[in-house]
Structure formats: structure tokens, C-alpha cells
Amino acid sequence: MILDLFSRRVVGWKLQDRLDASLVHQALQNALILRQPKAGLYFHSDRGCQYSSHLVRKPLEVIGALSSMSGLGNCYDNAKAEAFFSTLKAECFPLSNSFQSKAQARSTIFEYIEVYYNNQRLHSALGYKSPRQYESGLSTRKRTTFSKEKVTATSSAEGGAKVKRANGINGGSP
């Protein structure tokens, strides 16, 4: 499971019988396709060998991501991921902690992550918004901030540039 720590959104995940490098690689590929991150992304994981494998490290290197691993014996470094799995088990798993089939497990977990957790589940750390609501609010705030002031550049006779403000600052006229 790949979790965006900013919005708490699960951006990549995959289910398999074993935890190995191919599982992490597939979840990472899903996250990279969804997010298309720029260089400088931090990818934090625990110290499991599947995370330090070439299969996982290579795509991170290609996009210019910076790898970060938990300190030896420090379980708190990965607390957000551990909290997600605790929440998943408490809210999604049957009382017996056992699904009737792999197909039922896949279907139930898919619905939990893609329908409920990312879109409806409220997080106190996000101002009681779901991860998608939080991300939508951020993009709306960015658009509002950048579109409030229209700026036009014109050349002056001296060769320098003059800036003319179309909507003014602080409610003033242009």
C-alpha cells in the first residue's frame, strides 16, 4: 500500500498471497501512474527487503525520488502506514478476521479503499474531510489564489518592462 502522507489518500495498492518485491513494485507502479510525481518525491518505507530491492528502487531512481527508510528498530517511523492497516482491519475485516474467499477479500478491500476510505472517510488531521475532499479543496484554493490577480506586462520606451495590474491589490484600482 502506498499512502500519500499529505492527504492520507491510498494512491497505490495491490493484494497478493505473499509480501515480496513484485507486490510492492505493482503497488508503486499504480501510485506512479495515478500521481505522476516530479523529482524530489520522498518515498518512505520500513526496512523490509522488498523495499530495498532493485525492482522497487529502479523506478524511484528513474523519477528522481528520494528513498527513506525507518531507523533500525524504530516502528514509529512508519506510524501512518501502520495506522492505516489498523483502521483497515477494524473497519473492513469480518469479526472473525477471516474472509470466506480470496475473491471476497479482494472485493471488500477494493470497495473499502476506493469507495469509502479515499472518498468518504473523514480524518481529523484533514479538518474532518476525506482525502479526496482535502485534495479538491487544495486545488480549488490554488486556482483561486492564482486567478485573483491578472497581470499584464507592457514594454516601456526605456526598454524595461512595466507591469500593469488588471484587478489591483487589496481591492485597489489598476
Q: Please name each of the domains of the chain with its CATH number.
A: 2-90 (3.30.420.10)
Q: What is the pLDDT of residue 160?
A: 40
Residue 171 has pLDDT above 60, yes or no: no
**15: which residues sit within 8 A by CB, 6+ positions away?**
105, 106, 109
Q: Render pLDDT for 14-63 as a digit per residue (tens, 0 to 9).
A: 999 999 999 999 999 999 999 999 999 999 998 888 999 999 999 999 99
What's at 32, amino acid-wise? Answer: L
The answer to pTM > 0.95 is: no
Helix axes 79-92, 102-110, angle to 10 degrees: 110
Q: Which percentage of the chain shows pLDDT scores above 70?
A: 79
